[in-house]
A and B are shown apart, each in its own frame.
Chain A
Amino acid sequence: MTNQALPTEVAGDGVMSTMGNTFEAPARRGTRKWRLYSKRFLRNRMAVVGVLVFVLIALFGIIGGHLVPWTYSDVDFLAIGTGPSREHWFGTNGSGNDLYAQLAHGIQRSLTIGVLVSLCTTAVAAFVGSIAAYVGGRTERIVLEVIHFLLVVPSFLILALVSNSVNGDWRMLIVVLVLFGWMYYARVVWTMAMSLREREYVAAARYMGLGPAAVVLRHIVPNIGSMLTIHFTLGVVTTIQAETGLSFLGFGVKTPDVSLGALIGDGSSQLYSAPWQFWFPAVTLTLLTVSMAFVADGLRDALDPNSQAGGHA
């Protein structure tokens, strides 16, 4: 929380300049900062492994589908519900779809939904929450009323209603997930920013004549940055989990489209008779989400100047 308050301590070798020499070439300062971040990130071994696993899964999602003759919607009537073989590497499902091709497509779909939704909700939540806390007065009251109202409206119900009627269109799913996903974070950000707005450096920035947007973007948001980073990365995981739940119940992404959640939903009914239909997507999903969580941890070590992960600066 006091990241901003300790600029000289951030780097013992004087990477970050104090207020007196802000006219120093900004490009050089930026490069040094990023080098420091990457150095600190690379020190967290699990985070590096996480990045590798994540990249591998993402690559599998992007190019994996082109390595086999099947696409995710092709049906092989000669191999219905067969186990892994040379023909179908991960087996087929009850309709004869190649599970490998479906898995590649499912990763693509789930990742797209997860990243886009999390990016939008975190950005909206950070800005709306901090502005409400900093500006105060009538703006704060109105924003909070809107947040509370959207929180009371049961988003899961509306999600189910809407995605049921658009027949599992993933773009609509993104819109609805964002529409009803930002309020919760915004309220958490608001609570944190409430404490921050009383800090001396925020008051100082205000007395120096900075406008509300500038104060929020330069002084409040950076100070909850570590929380926002965690929220973004975990938000991807949460979104994918939410999508898994919706699809499991039959409200999310539906056939003919395929997502990791839909695959797990299909496979879970065949847990004993056709275990590969369940375990391939389940293990992939778990690897994906676990790796992202380790990346979040590494980012925290890298971005938080108070972090003592494996040594100093």
Chain B
Amino acid sequence: MTKYILRRILGWALMIVLATNLTYFLASSFLDPRANYLQRRPPVPEFAVNANLTRFNLNDQEPLLHRWWDWISAIVVHWNWGASPEGASVNDQVATRIWVSAEFVLGATVLTTLIGVALGVFTASRQYKASDRVLQQVSVVTLNIPTPVMALAAVVAGIALNNALGRTVLFVSGSGSVGTQGFLHGLLDGLQHLVLPTVTLVVTGYAGYHFLQRALLLDNIGADYVRTARAKGLTKATAIRRHALPTSIIPVATSVAFSIPGIFTGAVIAETIFGWEGMGRYFVTTISKNDIHGAVAVAAFGAVVTAIGAVLSDVVVGALDPRVRVS
């Protein structure tokens, strides 16, 4: 098992390298830093544009392979991911943003999965009873509220709450206040900023796990081996927990792992509306500003996150399903 996991990690590392390089070539052919200078008034002379672009290794008049070699060797030797067309270091930009996003996304991911799976199990074992029908219909509605609508509704609700209480309890913009002193105050301040964006992601996200877990568990509750377990004298709850749940949670574990990049990109919208300077917002900025190196760094980060999720999923599936032969 350990050997298998190690081999998988090695395979994923190779794929991250491949994907990052592929994205470099894609971004180089689709993004055009030169266009940034064309809109300048007064116009910038061409030699100045070329000098600037060459300085940051973005000049499209140089052969692509030369640029690629300079870019990749800078990463390998100095861990330097290059600069934006304006000269800002990608390393500096990403260093702070990763933690802003991590804080934002991690809490939402954990809450979303826990609430969704718990509701799925709860409603599947009470199929077609009143509680199942009500919860299901609530989830249908929440799942289908578009993220922008939900985020804006959260903003409106937050402002209404603050007005009703006469002071700012929940912040609707930014990830933290400037000049907060002390650990406890900092924590409280962070939480005050975190509540509304997290609620947005959780409310729009949990229902997916609810339905998936419910559907899969129901497929298994009706299966012969669960009926056999009941016939042996197990209570319904025990039969579900010991026999139906382990089988049905396997695809859910897979989907949790691969939904991490999705949640990450989904957070882009929430980050935009709530004014968080995270990776998601950085990604939008890099594309609209033709920042090749920045976009590739975001891609590499996304690949790493996916790989971590996939390896974790392999571990969980391997532990749950003895039939999955690890060769």
Question: A: which residues have CB within 8 A of B?
Answer: 1-2, 5, 46, 145, 148-149, 151-154, 156-158, 160-162, 164-165, 184, 187-188, 191-192, 194-195, 198, 226-227, 230, 234, 237, 241, 244-245, 248-251, 261, 264-265, 268, 271, 282, 285-286, 289-290, 293-294, 297, 300, 304, 306-310
Contacts and interface: CB of A to CB of B under 8 A. Distances in A.
Interface string B147-177: 1110010001000000000000000000000
A234 B211 contact: yes
B99 interface: no
B144 A248 contact: no
Given A195-B247, A304-B218, 6 more contacts: A161-B295, A164-B287, A227-B215, A241-B147, A245-B268, A293-B144
B250 A164 contact: no
B258 A165 contact: no
Interface in B5-40: 11-12, 15-16, 18-19, 22-23, 26-27, 30-31
B223 A2 contact: yes
B26 A191 contact: no
Contacts of A245: 146-148, 265-266, 268-269
B51 interface: no
B145 interface: yes
Contact of A162 (B22, B30, B147): B30
Contact of B16 (A152, A165, A289): A152
Contacts of A184: 255, 258
Contact of B146 (A145, A244, A249, A250): A244
B146 A264 contact: yes
Contacts of B144: 237, 241, 286, 289-290, 293
Interface of B: 11-12, 15-16, 18-19, 22-23, 26-27, 30-31, 127-128, 136-137, 140-141, 143-149, 152, 156, 208, 211, 215-216, 218-220, 222-224, 247, 250-251, 254-255, 258, 261, 265-266, 268-269, 272, 283-284, 287-288, 295, 298-299, 302-303, 306-307, 310, 317, 321, 323-324
Contacts of A158: 23, 26
- The prevalent SS among residues of A at the interface is helix
A300 B222 CA distance: 14
A187 B22 contact: no
A241 B298 contact: no
Contact of A152 (B218, B268, B306): B306
Given A157-B299, A198-B323, A1 B306 contact: no
B219 A306 contact: yes
25 contacts: A1-B223, A2-B224, A148-B12, A149-B18, A152-B15, A152-B303, A153-B22, A153-B299, A154-B299, A154-B303, A157-B299, A164-B287, A187-B254, A192-B251, A230-B211, A234-B211, A237-B143, A237-B144, A245-B148, A245-B265, A250-B288, A264-B146, A290-B144, A304-B218, A306-B219
A251 B128 contact: no
A267 to B, nearest CB: 10
A297 B19 CA distance: 38
A251 B287 contact: yes
A195 B137 contact: no
A164 B284 CA distance: 11
CB-CB nearest 8 A-B residue pairs? A306-B222, A289-B144, A154-B302, A156-B265, A161-B30, A152-B19, A152-B303, A1-B219
A248 B280 CA distance: 14
B215 A153 contact: no
A298 B96 CA distance: 47
Contacts of A309: 128
B137 A46 contact: yes
Contacts of B216: 227
Nearest to A227: B215
A227 to B, nearest CB: 7
A194 B219 contact: no
Given A2-B223, A154-B302, A226-B219, A249 B152 contact: no
A149 B146 contact: no
B238 to A, nearest CB: 20
B302 A264 contact: no
A251 B272 CA distance: 14
